Every structure is written in C-alpha cells, then in structure tokens.
Amino acid sequence: MNRRSFLVLSGLVGGGLVGGAVLAGCQQPGAAGGAPADVPGVTDLADPGRLRTAEAVISSFENSSTELPYASAQDIGDGRGITAGRAGFTSGTHDLLLVVRRYEESAGGERTPLTGYLPALTAIDAAVTAGGDGGDTTGLEGFPDAWRQASQTDPRLNRAQDDVYRRLYFDPAMAQARRIGMTSALGQLVLLDSAVQHGTGTDPDGLATMIDETTEAHGGAEQPDRSGWLEEFLEVRRAHLLDPADAETAEVWRSSVPRVDTLETLLDEERFDLATPLDWTFAGQAFHFAG
C-alpha cells in the first residue's frame, strides 16, 4: 500500500511514532472545535483559516462533506481494513494503530473505549509487515461503534488524530513545499491532498516521487506556483491514479481522478490564496465553504 510504504521508508512502522516525546510538540492543524482566525498578511497554509479551507476541500474528496470526520469509521472495501477519522487512518497501513496508541498514552493508563482493540490492531499490523492482508479486520468487530463513541465523548481521541495527522502528513507535505519553493495556499493544498492519499515517501506512487517526476519533466521547479509546474504535477498525479503501482487496488485509485479534476479547476480559476468564500465541484457535487 502506498501510505504504508511511506511509513516503512520513514522508519515509523514498528513503533517509531508512538511515544509522547515524539508527538507532544505537535500543534493541531484544523483543531477539533472552534473556527480558526486568519493571520493578517499570511496567504499560505501557515494561516489557520486557509488551512481549514484546504482541509474542507480534502474532506469533500474523502467524505462528501466539508466537515472533518473525526467520528467516522468503516470498512470501505479498499483493501486497507478499517478507515477512520479525519485523515482516513486505516488498520492496514499502520497509521490507525498510531492514533489509537497515542490516544491510549494520553489517557495515562485509564481504560478507553478502544483499549480492548489494541491487541487486534497490533496483530494485524504485524501480519501486514510480514506481507499479510491489509484488508484483514479480524478482532475489530465493534471497532467503528467504539471509535465513534470515543470521538464524540472524549476530546483526547480527536487531539490524537490531529497529532498523528500533522506528524505523518501535514508536516512532511509542507517540508516538500519548502523544498521546491511552493508558496501559495492552493499549491500547498495540492501537495497536502497528495500526501493524504499517496503518502509522502519515495515509493512508486508517493508524493516525493511525483514531485521529482514533475520537476524533471518541467525542467526544474522555479516559481512552481505559476510557471506551469502545478499543472504538470497534477497530470503526473493523474497518470499515477490511472495506472497505480498496486494493481490490486487500481479501481479505487482510478475512482479518485475527480480529485485532480477539481484541483485543476481551482488552478484554472487562479484561486491561489484559497480566499473564502470558496466554491468547487467534485464528482458532480457542488460544495461551498464560507470560512
């Protein structure tokens, strides 16, 4: 799986991202509860308001809603097991286990609605590491209901989701943006959405790989916001979605091509600062975000 490959290459599978020492310093992008205020003069995703707009767009792709789905959990049949929470953390790609571990640590030994699922999540993770089936949900019966209960009643679970999301996806995507000089909110949204779906590593479909392919095809990444680089990147991403490295999940990846269509439309409209109100269409459904 693309996302798991990123975690393996980053050294995070096997417990590298579980301790409070690793995650305690993480801030919360799009934090659960409350509307973030804009920062005067800041027009990229360092501005909380623009970050929330970017997350609303990504959530429309993932959940057909502009709201972050902290409490959602289900097996969507994509070969990754249970998909849960604000970033689609999955039991088959290690990041769901990281969230649950982080949540349990924040509880300080107190039993939570998810405590009883740690052995099953750990066993599935070990099996996938050894080449097993990422879609296996053995021992996770009742997990979606328990997740929803915890998310709706214990803010520590949603904070754990924010922590892991930032560490695994937001921070690496923004590091890539800095590396190539991507300074617009829209350009950073394109990279962030790719990170959430593909992972940020150098596996065949990872964000870093697609950036390198784009830069090579474009003859460099100077002024990537407005020089045609973003258009090239989206075409590279479209090609990866149409012909993914993992043939077993090809149908799922191909169904994501409308994400690229939407981002291309925002680019054509030159919505570089993601100023609100923002309107877009995804897969035939219209969305509006007032900010």
Q: Is 235 one of the catalytic residues?
A: no
Residue from 44, 62, 125, 205 carrying the catalytic annotation: 62
Rounded distance, CA 11 to CA 201, Å?
A: 11
Query: Which whole-number Å values give the CA distances from 132 to 50, 79, 179, 216, in the listed order?
Result: 40, 11, 35, 35
Q: Is 78 one of the catalytic residues?
A: yes
In sequence order, which residues have a C-beta less than 8 Å from that of residue 99 and are 6 or more positions away?
Answer: 84, 85, 89, 157, 160, 161, 164
Q: Which position has the token pair 């949900």?
A: 137
Rounded distance, CA 57 to CA 63, Å?
A: 10
- Identity (one letter) of the amino acid at 282? F
In sequence order, which residues have a C-beta less than 8 Å from that of residue 24 and are 6 or more positions away?
Answer: none
What token pair was written down for 11? 């050294």
Q: Which position has the token pair 């959530």?
A: 59
Collapsing DSSP to helix, strand or coil, 281 comes out as strand
Q: What angle do CA 59, 178, 231 make, to 5 degrees?
A: 60
- Identity (one letter) of the amino acid at 219? G
End-to-end CA distance of the chain: 34
> How many angstroms separate the most distant Cα atoms in the chain?
55
Residue from 47, 78, 95, 232 carrying the catalytic annotation: 78
Q: Are strands 82-84 and 278-282 parallel, antiparallel or unpaired?
A: unpaired
Catalytically active residues are 62, 78
